[in-house]
């Protein structure tokens, strides 16, 4: 049996996550499930919860890698919870666990995960219409190294299709 593709979704936590961002994240999660890929998130609220909800409703497998050491902090749509106990350092675990990354909105925590992913040359795609860090860095590199371009797309389906085109199972 071939390894399943693992796609990390990052973005706003419950603070600053609008209904519009929740809808985008829900649809991204559903598209990931429909592609028979595994959804990975930081396992908490906001974009993480909405993407997990979408993947769950579409019959997909969801993994939440949470910063705490107590699994009860994870959102209810995580099928598998990894209580890392690493605090913010868990961003590197998230990045290294992923074959590709989808960015929805986001702030400094999202940027931290993007940087970890960038340094490890993970394919990344940003929803241009989602605001925050995703809009700011869509269609560019994070620095002079040009490790991987963060491709900007318009729709959840485009985001998943782009990541799938960049990774192999």
Output the CA angle 163-164-166, nearest 5 degrees.
65
Query: What are the structural domains of the chain?
Result: 6-166 (3.40.50.450)
What is the chain's pLDDT, residue by residue, as a tens digit (169 residues)? 788 999 999 999 998 899 999 999 999 999 999 999 999 999 999 999 999 999 999 999 999 999 999 999 999 999 999 999 999 899 999 999 999 999 999 999 999 999 999 999 999 999 999 999 999 999 999 999 999 999 999 999 999 999 999 996 4
Q: Cα separation of 129 and 25, whole Å?
A: 12
Q: Which two tokens stand for residue 168?
A: 């192999």
Backbone phi and psi for residue 43, each to the nearest 5 degrees, phi listed first: 75, 5
């Amino acid at each position: 049996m071939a390894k399943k593709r693992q796609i990390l979704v990052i973005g706003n936590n419950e603070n600053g996550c609008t209904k519009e961002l929740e809808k985008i994240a829900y649809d991204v999660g559903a598209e990931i499930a429909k592609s028979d890929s595994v959804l990975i998130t930081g396992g908490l609220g906001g974009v993480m919860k909405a993407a997990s909800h979408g993947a769950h409703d579409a019959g997909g497998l969801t993994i939440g890698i949470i910063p705490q050491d107590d699994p009860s902090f994870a959102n209810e749509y995580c099928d598998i919870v990894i209580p890392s106990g690493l605090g913010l350092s868990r961003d590197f675990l998230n990045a290294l666990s992923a074959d590709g990354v989808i960015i929805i909105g986001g702030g400094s925590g999202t940027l931290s995960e993007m940087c970890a992913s960038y340094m490890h040359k993970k394919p990344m795609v940003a929803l241009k219409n989602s605001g925050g860090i995703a809009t700011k860095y869509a269609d560019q590199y994070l620095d002079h190294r040009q490790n991987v371009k963060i491709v900007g797309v318009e729709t959840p389906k485009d985001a998943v299709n782009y990541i799938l085109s960049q990774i192999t199972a």
